Structure 1
């Protein structure tokens, strides 16, 4: 299978937009549709025609561009079955265990609720890529809005169990703030210290900090590391369950 072209850019204030393009067929998909004008502009710059929108969850900053883009292009919109009543324009409903094809490339659907109740993530095994919306961020995770901490922890574990070289594309550019918070949880993690410095320098020159990768997040993302003794000791939670430690980290982030 050929390698898909990936084009990402920031729109709105901090949303990542991602376009996938298959050079052989011309198939072009947008991961979510946060901003129709920005996506339209980038498509024109690339000379690509939108054929699909793949939706991770119902929040407006991920769906507001669907209606105008679909009206203009006739693109097919695929999204979470559990949120069908909240997302206008869906043509195909998918949930946990479903697979579908994009230009011959398989996409596996995993349910990753917590940020929203029906949030999904999309995994492309042959491309070693996953699109995780607002479930996981670089060195962070999404706010728990419609779920609970145990639900979100279970969703993060699904992502953490993907092959370690899987590239992860997230919904927002929050990396510098996430790095600062992560250091407050695990200040002696040398890999985290180095990565925080790296991403801060990247953002200073307006470089994008994703994709990240599963193995990198396992080493530096505190939300995936509640089992680490140093974190448990720092939080005074040596005997708690992993998800309970995760819940405390998430609550501290809410207050930061």
Structure 2
């Protein structure tokens, strides 16, 4: 059954790329009651909701989803005594296209991210968090880097022709090309960091890493000032300083391993990194 579910998820991801999904199983159950008759019920048991980006491996999440449903079924049987599974009526794969909304106004960082001390979170009151984060990366300041006033004087230095604010993820590539920049955008959800957009440009020292956060009410871009420190603080239990490959989020002790592209030939998908707090 797991294989069929995985195949169905892959089919849907090929159509819409990024999806949110959960599983829902309906089970026919029966038990004998005191007067000798049989009582029936058909409860639903569902997994939690997962986000799968293009090229993600769903194996781990599928295992967890089935474990969650089995656990809920066992709990039901334990609390509602004498129930027996008679038949599985159906297993539904529920998906919806995952389309993060455009970055907008200031959001306070979750404490787990704030403690990494590797993110500049601009306190803007407009819808230009993407712009201010890029300018913060291009024109860094040491004191109070979260103040938008530091970067307003540089606003006209970028080519914003054809852009409205807030800026959606789908517009990042166009922005890069118009301004000869390399920009990577990472997401964070449930303690995991994962690539949302990886640059195809190659501009050396001008490469900029942004963090994209969202909740039910808002979404926001921040500047990741040091990706290795950010991931090292949260992912590296040994606290050894590591250098991280942007695309694969894999840490190495020596930066020359990252430069050697052959190191990554065995990888063919973008990775998620579980953050340890």
Task: Report the TM-score when normalising by structure 2.
Answer: 0.25
Task: Report the TM-score when normalising by structure 1.
Answer: 0.27
Q: Which has the higher helix share?
A: 1
Larger Rg: 2
